[in-house]
Structures are given as C-alpha cells and as structure tokens.
Amino acid sequence: EPGHPVSPLIVLVGPMGVGKSTVGHLLAERLGVAYRDTDDDIVAAEGRTIADIFVDEGEPAFRAIEKRAVRTALTEHDGVLALGGGAILDPDTRELLTGQRVVYLSMQVEEAVRRTGLGVARPLLAVNPRKQWRELMEARRHLYEEAATAVVPTDGRTPEEVTEAALDAL
C-alpha cells in the first residue's frame, strides 16, 4: 500500500530442518521482499555442496566461509535472510545480529526427530539421531534465544501457520 514503509531486514535463525527456507520464502512473498539464504550463497560462491565443503575441509573451514557469507549478506540484503543452522555458533556473527530483527523458528527434539527421520535401518552403524538432536539443541538453544527478537514455535504447525505466526510476531 502507498506510504507503507519498506520492511527492514528480517533474519531467520533456528536448527536445520525447522523450515527456515520454506517459511522464509512464504514470509518474503507475503511482505513483498526478496528472500536470501546464506547456504545458497555459499554453494554458489564455492561451486560445491555444503556437505562437500564439510567433507573436504572440515567444519572449522566451513564456519569461516559461512561467517564471511553472513557478513556480506547482512550488509547487502534488506528482505528476508535465512542463516544456516550453525551460523549462530560464531561470536562475530552473533555480534552482527545485535540490533537486527531476528526471528527464531524453534522446534522440540521430538519434532526434529520426526521431521528428519531416524536414519538408516542398522542401529549399530547409525548415529543415534535423538541423542544427536538433543545434544545439538542443548548446545544451541540459548544462542538462538539470545539472538532472537521473536521466537516462533513450529511444532505441529504447517509452514503457512508458522508464516502467519511469524507475521504476527514481527
């Protein structure tokens, strides 16, 4: 509508599989702004998948690449910006998020297990997804919460419902 102020940057954080990309696209569409995702930026810049970067160079190298990608995206973008689930682990990234509008899409461990599955059918070879999820959530939950200006639980909600809740929370 005329005179409606341009939406400032909205940053989406939260664990992998929570729906940052799906909800981010819906949110951007509803607000009439562009969607951007630092994982996509990294894949485009590196010409290989995130999984390949992890395998080839290890997590610390990926985090260094990610941190630069987040800094660039934060300065260039003014729509909806989704960060990779682990971006919040970097102290410089957390500092950059201070003063930004940060929406944390949260989910409980059981929801995460339900959404991402229990892994391969050979339990002795597979990691324990529930234990992995519990540890990951315990390590990161407070970082997401501290960075967030709004928390939107996604448990048992469709992407459309989460998008509505996020719009209400803005």
Q: Which is nearer to ligand S3P, 39 or 111 (CB)?
A: 39
Q: How far is the CB of 106 from ligand S3P (least distance, A)?
A: 13
The least CB distance from residue 51 to ligand S3P, in Å, is: 7
Beta carbon nearer to ligand S3P, 79 or 86? 86
Q: Pick out the residues of the known binding site for ATP.
A: 17-22, 122, 157
Output the known binding site.
Answer: 17-22, 39, 63, 85, 122, 140, 157
Residue 65: half-sphere exposure toward Cβ, Cα within 13 Å? 22
Q: Which residues are annotated as a binding site for substrate?
A: 39, 63, 85, 140
Contacts of 12 by beta carbon, 8 Å cutoff, 6+ apart = 20, 23, 24, 27, 80, 81, 82, 83, 102, 103, 105
Question: Rounded to the nearest whole angstrom, what is the least distance from the CB of residue 50 to ligand S3P in the complex?
Answer: 5
Check: CB of residue 37 under 8 Å from CB of residue 14: no
Find out whether 71 and 11 touch, Cβ atoms under 8 Å: no
Site residues (vs ligand S3P, CB under 6 A): 16, 20, 39, 50, 84-86
* Cα dist from 152 to 60, 116, 123, 144, whole Å: 29, 19, 33, 11
Between 2 and 47, CB nearer to ligand S3P: 47
SS3 content of the chain, % helix, strand, coil (to 5): 55, 10, 30
Nearer to ligand S3P (CB atom), residue 79 or residue 85: 85
- Work out how close the CB of 101 gets to ligand S3P at its nearest, in angstroms, rounded to a whole number: 19
